Structure 1
Amino acid sequence: MKLVVFGANSPTGRLVTAMAMSAGHTVTAITRRPADFPFCDHRVQTAAADVMDADAVDWVTGGHEAVVSVIGVPPSVRPVTVCSQATYNIVKAMIGHGMRRLLCVASAGLDAADLSRAGLMRQRAIRPVVLASGRAVQRDVRRMEDIVRESGLDWTLLRPGRLITGRDVSDYRITALPASRPLTSRTDIAHALVHEVAHGEHLGETVYVS
């Protein structure tokens, strides 16, 4: 399958690219700095594109069979629009090129069910500026999810828990409800994305990976 990966030069994006290659897919890795991308393989090509530029996104999206988005941004106390605007541009490009399959990484932290009473008490003890910076990003990710669900495409949203480093793929779970203390290794979320793009077991669903 011909995949285009947005956010390919992120830690998760690099894992997605490597696993997709190993699974026999070809990948177009989208990054603002192609010279920094660590892969040199005939199954991978890089393309420079700013995800906030609709024309650039349209140009790099055409000619593929599926889109994987692992776009993320660091916490900020200022309003954040990167995830939602980038996803809007991706959806628009996919529709224009007649593409259907879209997979996006979101966050398990969006679901209030993640927060036990003890968890809420811990959050109140954190400095307000830290909470505000997280909320700005979460609001943008929630807007991103709404855009995906309303797109009419064959979408899957994957919500990892707090991302940790994991060398090997674990016996992770994909569930309809979040774990009480969700942790997800980057290796596992990358594996889940590549598996899902090939098998389509969760079309039109929001799932948790932990």
Structure 2
Amino acid sequence: MRIVVFGANGPTGRQVTEQAIAEGHTVTAVTRRPAEFPLSGPCLRVAGADVLDPGAVERAVAGQDAVISTLGVPYSRSPVTVYSEGITHITRAMTRHGVRRLVCVTSTVLFDAPAPGETLFFRKVLEPLIARTIGRTVYDDMRRMEETVRDSDRAWTVLRPAGLFDTDAVSDYRVATSRLPGRFTSRADLGNALLREAVGDRHVGAFVDVRTTEGVPGFLDVIRKEAFGGRK
């Protein structure tokens, strides 16, 4: 299968790209800094492009079977538009070139429902602080991105992971179309879930939670390392 990955040089993008190559897919990895991309192989093409450049996006999308977007930016007080503008260019290019399958990433926060079994402090204080104050501009733009995806005529799936952390291998993670218990999703699991959706049609037209259930770190450890890095 021919797959193009936007945001390929982020931690999740590299997971998707590496796993897709290992499975024998032909991958176009799109990054603004192609010289820094650490992966290589006969089935990999690295394309230097900015998702905010519609012409560059169209060239990357042409001839593909599926698109995976792992775009991510740090929390910021300034308005964020990368998600919504980027996905607008991607969906338009997909329509022009007849590319059907789109899979992308937002956040479990966008379920607008508490995680099952979560503590009162996390549900009423900590998560609202992150969602409505610290990360408000990022999540606002993720919502705009989801609206664009939902209104497109593509076969789309949006994955909504929880707090992201790094592991060496894919685990026996869970997916569901409603919010799952737990606070974390490993990037290896998220990358695998993105790939599984891209090559299949299990959750077309759905928002899907992805949750790691084994080997998860402590909450404060992840917050200290990840919260302000924007490392999708």
TM-score normalised by L of structure 1: 0.93
What CA distance in whole angstroms lies between the structure 1 residues aligned with 2:35 and 2:142? 28
Q: Which runs of 5+ in 2 are unaligned?
A: 212-232
What CA distance in whole angstroms lies between the structure 2 residues aligned with 1:174 and 1:109? 15
Quote the residue 2:182 is aligned against. Answer: 181
Quote the residue 2:67 is aligned against. Answer: 67
2:67 match: secondary structure: strand
Aligned residue pair count: 208
1:176 Cα shift?
1.4
What CA distance in whole angstroms lies between the structure 1 residues aligned with 2:8 and 2:47? 10
1:131 Cα shift?
5.0
CA contact (8 A) 2:17 2:29 kept: yes
Quote the residue 2:156 is aligned against. Answer: 155
Residue by residue over 1:64-97, the C-alpha shift from the partner in whole angstroms, topping out at 9 and shown as x without a partner, is: 1110000011000011000010000000000011
What CA distance in whole angstroms lies between the structure 1 residues aligned with 2:147 and 2:114? 19
Q: Which runs of 5+ in 1 are unaligned?
A: none
What CA distance in whole angstroms lies between the structure 1 residues aligned with 2:150 and 2:132? 27
Quote the residue 1:8 is aligned against. Answer: 8
AA aligned to 1:171 is D
What CA distance in whole angstroms lies between the structure 2 residues aligned with 1:34 and 1:205? 32
Quote the residue 1:90 is aligned against. Answer: 90
Quote the residue 1:52 is aligned against. Answer: 52
AA aligned to 1:194 is L
Quote the residue 2:26 is aligned against. Answer: 26
Q: CA RMSD in A?
A: 1.8
Over the matched positions of the two proteins, sequence identity in percent amounts to 45
1:132 Cα shift?
2.7
2:68 match: secondary structure: strand
What CA distance in whole angstroms lies between the structure 2 residues aligned with 1:11 and 1:209? 16
1:113 match: secondary structure: coil
1:60 Cα shift?
1.4
